Amino acid sequence: MADVVKDLRRLVIKAYHMKEVEWGEHNNITTDGKMTVSREMLDELVESEPLIEKIDIQIIQPGDHDRWTNTMMDIIPISTKVLGRIGEGITHTITGVYVILTGVDVNGKQTHEFGSSEGNMKEKLYLNRAGTPGDKDVIISFDVTLAAGMGQERPGPTAAHRACDRFIQTYRDKLKKFKGELCTERHEYHDIVRPGKKRVLIIKEVAGQGAMYDTHLFAKEPSGVEGGKSIIDLGNMPVILTPNEYRDGIIRSMQ
């Protein structure tokens, strides 16, 4: 008798590869692999976040990593939900480009708690790892200068993540409208249950000590901030996630 299998949910991730990344008048992406980056909304983002003094963005081409970087707070893919919620339905994502959020305060104090990663990016960034850019990927550096002393308190880094998320959302809004048949890669994942078989639970410990050391879950967008809930505000209690929720970017590191 064949084993009974229950297919609980299906996740389809469609990737669109960016071949060219350059400065432009507006933030834009196209299905033929062209991406433009603009500074037009930076003043608006600074004005909307009282704890942020300045934001700078840079386009870092592959191999151009011999440069100064402030502490790297997060490495963020550009992904968006097209159908369903995180963990199911359809997600569109970009390959070939990552956003790196970095931070420092006006007095030059790096945004960190237990350790900082400022210095030469070539020495501080490990490429070709899970969750890090590859050696052929373009990096968009989103560098935030916070008010004095705010790099070590939750509101400061949270404001930086929020501003970066709004910047990335301009690309998500365009990515949502891409035609699925034009993707460069397509991956399908299923959350499967096999009754009577062993149950497997993977336990992942995430940051939730307080100060700036925090983790958000359940945002509206993959690897997003808006709508997310702090693990600290959830009382640091265990949270059960499905494999596809994890795969689809339901956890956002706020360090």
Residue with tokens 């389809």: 12
- Rounded to an integer, the average pLDDT of 197-224 is 86
pTM, to two decimals: 0.93
What integer is the mean pLDDT of 192-220? 85
Backbone angles phi, psi at 50, to 5 degrees: -60, -25
93 CB-contact burial (10 Å; exposed 0-12 / middle 13-18 / buried 19+): buried
Residue type for position 14:
K
The two beta strands, 71-76 and 97-105, are: antiparallel
Chain-centroid distance, C-alpha 227: 14
CA torsion sign for 186, 130, 104, 141 is negative
pLDDT confidence band for 1 (50 / 70 / 90): very low
Distance CA 79, CA 76 (A): 9
Contact of 21 with 138, CB cutoff 8 Å: yes
* pLDDT the model gives residue 254: 79
CA–CA gap between residue 46 and residue 55 (Å, rounded): 7
The residues, ordered by sequence, that sit 6+ positions from 211 with a Cβ below 8 Å of its Cβ are: 113, 152, 153, 154
d(CA 125, CA 63) in angstroms, rounded, equals 12
What value does the mean pLDDT take over residues 147-161?
Answer: 91
Reference 46, options 151, 211, 140, 166; nearest CA is 166
Give percent above pLDDT 90 in the chain: 82
Other C-beta atoms closer than 10 Å to the C-beta of 211 total: 14
Asked if 117 contacts 71 with a C-beta cutoff of 8 angstroms, the reply is yes
First to last CA, the chain: 50
The pLDDT of residue 91: 98
Distance (Å, whole) CA 28 – CA 145:
25
Residue at 69: amino acid letter: T
**43-67 mean pLDDT:** 97
Distance CA 146, CA 106 (A): 6
- Distance (Å, whole) CA 166 – CA 15: 21
Which pLDDT tens digit goes with each residue over 72-117?
999 999 999 999 999 999 999 999 999 999 999 999 999 876 678 9
Residue 87: predicted pLDDT: 97
